[in-house]
Amino acid sequence: MSKISELAIIEDGAVIGKDVEIAPFCFISKDATIGDGTTIAQNSCIYGKTTIGKNNRIFSNAVIGSIPQDLKFNGEDVELIIGDDNTIREFTLFNPGTKGGGGKTIIGNHNLFMGYVHLGHDVIIGNHCILANAATLAGHVELGDYVVIGGMTPVHQFVHIGDYAMVGGASALAQDVPPFCMAEGNRATLRGLNLTGLRRNLSRDDINVLKSAYRELFESGKPLKDTASELLDTTKNHNVIDLCNFVIKTKRGIPFERKGV
């Protein structure tokens, strides 16, 4: 049975699932859908065509689905889609997509967004990611699974961050971070593999193979994409294949210190 405060404003047309809790002074748009078991704390606002899945926890003063912070936005039909089991802490701001970016911002499952996190328009986020306090993603940023972004870190628009990557706190990221890697600094550069995250999720053998591939790619001084292509011809390890394909496909480049240059 849902517990909805009489002091909440829920527009006609909103779809509210089972066992939903909505605290006083919340606003829910007529085009919103709230999944079963989700809780929404005081003073939070759910705007526009926003779909929120099951068992999400939204803390006080979150603003979810308000129009994109993009001057080209002209009232088009856009949406924000949030999966299941996410934790969205205080004063977060999530924007929907834009016409130029496909019209959708998409968030996966089991993510943690700490206080004051901002997700810009057309962002795509995978599963099991952690964004610490005041991390800020500009428009069109894409995160894989198990990504960690430290607090007070802005990420430039169109940046792609691969699975199991980590970006240190108080960094400024303007280029792509390959999967399994760690970047830090202003401007952020690669510092090695995200070994702490990898030890929690991969075998020792897989980590050792990734260490060898990382050295070959980023510390040998050889042309990056040529080296990635050579590794693809010799490896059968699916993690190395993912790493090399990411390097080959990057559009914004990889921020690393080139040896021998």
> How many Cα atoms within 13 Å fall on the side-chain side of residue 215?
5
Annotation marks residue 139 as catalytic: yes
Annotation marks residue 242 as catalytic: no
* Tens digits of residue pLDDT in 46-68: 999 999 999 999 999 999 999 99
* Tens digits of residue pLDDT in 97-138: 999 999 999 999 999 999 999 999 999 999 999 999 999 999
Domains of the chain: 3-140 (2.160.10.10), 198-249 (1.20.1180)
Token digits of residue 175 = 């280029």
Helix (H), strand (E) at residue 256: none
Q: Which one is catalytic: 101, 126, 139, 168?
A: 139
The answer to pTM > 0.75 is: yes
Q: Which residues pair with 182 in a beta bridge?
A: 166, 192
In the DSSP assignment, the letter for residue 120 is -
Confidence category of residue 258, pLDDT binned at 50, 70, 90: confident
* Tens digits of residue pLDDT in 168-207: 999 999 999 999 999 999 999 999 999 999 999 999 999 9
Confidence (pLDDT) at 173? 98
Annotation marks residue 128 as catalytic: no
Confidence (pLDDT) at 260? 61
Q: Which one is catalytic: 31, 35, 83, 121?
A: 121
Token digits of residue 30 = 């007529």
